[in-house]
Amino acid sequence: MSESKTRVTLITGAGMGIGQATAKAFAAAGDHVIVTDILEKEGQATADTIRAQGGSAEFIAYDVRSSERADAIVADVEARHGRIDVIVANAGIAHRTPLADLTDAKWDLTFDIDLKGIFRLVRAAAPAMRAHRSGSIIALSSIMGVAYGWDEHVHYSAAKAGVVGLVRGLAVEMARDGVRVNGIAPGYIRTAQLLSEENSLGPAGAEKAAEFIPMGRLGAPDDIADVIAFLASDAARYMTGQVLVVDGGLLVGRY
Q: How many domains does the chain have?
A: 1
Instruction: Check whether 29 has a pLDDT greater than 50.
Output: yes
Residue pair 241/231 in contact (Cβ under 8 Å)? The answer is: no
Give the per-residue pLDDT at 204. 76
Asked if residue 253 belongs to a domain, the reply is no
Asked if residue 83 belongs to a domain, the reply is yes
Asked if residue 199 belongs to a domain, the reply is yes
Asked if residue 67 belongs to a domain, the reply is yes
Specify the CATH number for the domain of residue 35.
Answer: 3.40.50.720
Asked if residue 250 belongs to a domain, the reply is no
Q: What is the domain range of residue 155?
A: 8-240
To the question of pTM greater than 0.85 for the whole model, the response is: yes
Asked if residue 97 belongs to a domain, the reply is yes
Confidence tier at 246 by pLDDT (50, 70, 90): very high
What is the mean predicted confidence (pLDDT) over 70-85?
98
Instruction: Check whether 21 has a pLDDT greater than 60.
Output: yes
- Sheet with 8-11: strands ordered across: 56-61, 32-37, 8-11, 86-89, 135-140, 179-186, 243-246
156 classed as catalytic: yes
Asked if residue 255 belongs to a domain, the reply is no
pLDDT of 144-184, one tens digit each?
999 999 899 999 999 999 999 999 999 999 999 999 999 99
Confidence tier at 205 by pLDDT (50, 70, 90): confident
Catalytic residue among 148, 156, 238, 255: 156
Coil/strand/helix, residue 135: strand
Asked if residue 212 belongs to a domain, the reply is yes
Instruction: Check whether 19 has a pLDDT greater than 90.
Output: yes
What is the mean predicted confidence (pLDDT) over 87-96?
96
